[in-house]
Each structure stands twice: as structure tokens, then as C-alpha cells.
Amino acid sequence: MKNLRLKAARAGMDLSQEDLAKAVGVSRQTISAIEKGDYNPTINLCISICKVLGKTLDELFWEE
């Protein structure tokens, strides 16, 4: 399932996939794969992404 909330939050902060990737210590391809729903990130990576974007785990990763 695509993660449009992550993509929207990243874009809302005017960050590229590369910018977010550098901030959390992964490759741009990893961020792309998470947004496309092709990769299930570890909880630690989810937390790192949330900290950079100023969001909670529920806001970015909880499936309704």
C-alpha cells in the first residue's frame, strides 16, 4: 500500500526524497520504496522519519 501520508508530509516540509534519506541515514531508493509501498521499514527507521518530519507514528504509518 502506498504511503501517501509520508510523501505529503515530506513535500509539505519541502524536502526531497534525497534530503529525507540523508537526514535518517538511508538511501533515496529506500525512501522511494517506502512511499511506493514496496518496502516495510523497521520501527527504528519509522521513528527516525517521524522525528525529522515532526509527525507521530500514527500520523505516518498507521493503516486505517
Tens of pLDDT along 25-61?
999 999 999 999 999 999 999 999 999 999 999 999 9
CATH number at residue 20: 1.10.260.40
Residues spanned by the domain of 28: 4-57
In a domain, 62, yes or no: no
Residue 1 has pLDDT above 90, yes or no: no
59 close to 16: Cβ distance less than 8 angstroms? no
Cell readout for 27 is: 538511501
pTM, full prediction: 0.93
CA 30 → CA 60, 64, distances in Å? Answer: 16, 23
Distance CA 40, CA 25 (A): 16
The pLDDT of 12-17, averaged and rounded, is: 98
Residue from 61, 37, 63 nearest 50 by CA: 61
Location of C-alpha cell 524536502: 15
Q: How many domains does the chain have?
A: 1
In a domain, 30, yes or no: yes
